[in-house]
Structure 1
Amino acid sequence: MMTVDLFSTLKSLPRTEKLKVMQFLIAELAREEEPTLQDGATYSVWSPLNSHEAAHKLGQLLESDQTF
């Protein structure tokens, strides 16, 4: 179906049907935006474990916050 035909059909729908179409399209767009994870695949995840620079900065923040 061509977009022009689709728009024409949508214009002729009653308000409640247009709202249903909107809900459907929003749900479809949201579903497409969700990240998809595949079974058996490995994904890298950042962790502060063994991040000495992050530990040093956190220590500095804690020290500066202790001065009242």
Structure 2
Amino acid sequence: MNAVELFPTLRNLTRADKLKVMQFLVSELSRDQEPLLEQGATYPIWPPFNSHAPAHQLAQLLESDE
């Protein structure tokens, strides 16, 4: 059975069942994908030194929210 054959059946499902199908498909896709981060590995983190423009934008956003 291919995806096109499943579409009419999926359309008739309840909202809750459609969400369960989506959750199942997402978990299947994540299993197929290689892990982006390995457990126990170390990764470099670059500090935002000399990043004045993003800091200024954030400050403006916070001030405008008040």
Using the size of structure 1 for normalisation, the TM-score is: 0.46
Using the size of structure 2 for normalisation, the TM-score is: 0.48
Bigger relative CO (Cα 8 Å, ≥ 6 apart): 2
